[in-house]
Structure 1
């Protein structure tokens, strides 16, 4: 039987770093070590897969800017036909912006008939002397990605990650992944699959998408253009002053929420007045400058409801401009959708 062919792309991040004199930085040797360590692992399919090392970008993920995203997008867009010849693609990426990148590429590569799995690490996978770092989960995450591809994981965009908190390995849909909390090395999503005790049959029928036979991936539209910024993302906090936000050059505003799907409305019920501490003030500013305003409050549907502040926002129509309320997606996915929308004018 022919070996499964896997392309590895090294965007950077901790998983592609090496410690030298107490400083972590991206290093080509760490990228190659990821494959070398896998070949020496206990993986049940290590003799049944072959690797091709693709591009290395050496980007620490805290530096993942629109410009650096465009480098990755251009690489995929220009080589997408070749990439169809692989059984799977593994992208090594840092943890700081992992959920943003998986959200973005889950949209750009929707319809691509090859599974793409993002992997990362909580610590550098190599010690200073080049030996494996036993604290790091990066090699385990890479091993899990290879085994998923070998076992026939359906096409789609995923992340494999072993949470230090419970020691379990999870397979996440890239579109559902959320950023881990500060000083925390655990990732979560709404529908993770525990693949700790991996068996190939776990993947049978998992997340199968209907194929329409059309080659209409959004990534193809970025062969001749690029991702553009201009999306202002705001999260609420006590004492927020919306008058401090200058909207010159802003193409759209995306307002996040507290965990309960709320933001400060702070309205005087008697005369319906509000000041710059109310999100309604920002909505007014957006309407005056003809800037679309998006708000992502919470899940809805059976068993869910919203707080009273949400209808105030939803019904606050100024000069015919009304806020767009987006339910059910992660903030990371909404932000990615807006970047694509206003880059392609769709």
Structure 2
């Protein structure tokens, strides 16, 4: 007899979990215990669904590392009782949270699928139903009683993406997310199709799940712009207890060549601050040394972020800082793909 997959639906907050009170017009939080009342189509899915919500659902703008740990612990506590997990999350910071969860879960062998919506679940034109139904279907997809997906993904508007490759690109369109440097893992049309050759396979070999919860948020993001001043960069690099900086540079990793700029970065690195170079461009990669304007960054020991997104770089930096790696290993570990978040051959 074929085993029926068990899926845990976790609601953290966000638009997807809202319904409109037709008497007042106000949005209120959806009761997920009555999910089948609102979306009877879920009865057609070949799985058993249970749901749990954050005690106090939050707008994703208020998401922080404490909430990431709460979410990780819910999954950890239920990991061996369920075959897959669907996380309902506000779209604004979904790529950040999904990236963080991908790094926090080591030796993952089950699907964790993030989804949300641009319109509330009770809205006439909502995208919530399709996103939710398909995300559950993806999480419950199995072959020979093994999950098709064994990584953290993000599903939105007919596309399944590797979560730590995504970024939100539109505040109004239903197609809100994009994976600029890695193709979709699957697409939903008349049929649900997976690109199996792209799926991430960590060599688990029955290794026990490890959940890394020691995230360190003593970091900053510094976006380079024409006319940026020495005062601004000095102020950021002088923040008390600062441990890491993601520097968003031009094009393929280019930045000003003035001596004051290089000297400030060199001083920060000498103090033990890790500086990661990512591109401001929506797609493409940092290639240090490709132009003269990035050669100096390569020479002082800047970490090459390659084609990683800013969201994923932030999550990875918090994760690795929390692991207290030896200083002489940190750069090499960051520049290695851990969860399929970057190309290594760059």
Q: What is residue 129 of structure 1 aligned with on the other side?
A: none
Q: What TM-score results when the alignment is normalised by the length of structure 2?
A: 0.77
Q: Structure 1 residues 299, 203: closer, same or farther in 2, change over 3 A?
A: closer
C-alpha displacement of 1:98: 0.7
Q: Secondary structure at the match of 1:8?
A: strand
The more displaced of 326-335 and 45-54 is: 45-54
Q: CA deviation at 1:19?
A: 4.5
Q: What is aligned with 2:105?
A: 109
Within the alignment, does 1:177 sit opposite 2:166 as a pair? yes
Q: Which residue is 1:120 aligned to?
A: 116
Judge conservation of contact 2:277–2:286 (CA < 8 Å) in 1. Answer: no
SS of the equivalent of 1:296 reads strand
8 Å contact kept, 2:63–2:93: yes
Q: Which residue of 1 aligns with 2:154?
A: 159
Between stretches 236-245 and 193-202, larger displacement belongs to 193-202
Q: How many residues align?
A: 305
Aligned to 2:10: 9
Structure 1 residues 225-304: aligned runs within 5 Å? 226-241=214-229, 242-245=233-236, 246-258=238-250, 260-267=251-258, 274-275=259-260, 278=261, 280-287=262-269, 289-297=271-279, 298-299=284-285
The alignment yields a C-alpha RMSD, in angstroms, of: 2.8
Structure 2 residue aligned with 1:312, among 252, 275, 296?
296
**Contact 1:84–1:113 (8 Å) recurs in 2:** no
Change (3 A) 1:263 1:282: farther
* CA drift at 1:183: 5.3
Cα gap change, 1:181 to 1:250, in 2 (>3 Å): farther
User: Which residue of the partner structure matches residue 47 of structure 2?
Assistant: 49
The alpha carbon displacement at 1:174 in A equals 1.0
Distance (Å, rounded) in 1 between the aligned partners of 2:257 and 2:20 = 49
Q: Deviations along 1:21-47, whole A, 9 cap, x unmatched?
A: 56556x142x44655433x23x6x725
Match of 1:342 in 2: 321
CA distance in structure 1 between the aligned counterparts of 2:193 and 2:184, rounded to whole angstroms: 16
**Partners in 2 of 1:32 and 1:11 — Cα distance?**
15
Give the whole-Å Cα distance in 1 for the aligned partners of 2:313 and 2:129.
Answer: 30
CA contact (8 A) 2:117 2:131 kept: yes
Q: Which residue of 2 aligns with 1:271?
A: none
> Which 4+ residue blocks in structure 1 deviate beyond 6 angstroms?
none
1:191 to 176, 183, 186: 183
Indicate the residue corresponding to 1:74 in structure 2. 73
Going from structure 1 to structure 2, the CA distance change for 1:100 and 1:47 (only over 3 Å counts) comes to closer
Verify: 1:98 aligned to 2:94, yes or no: yes
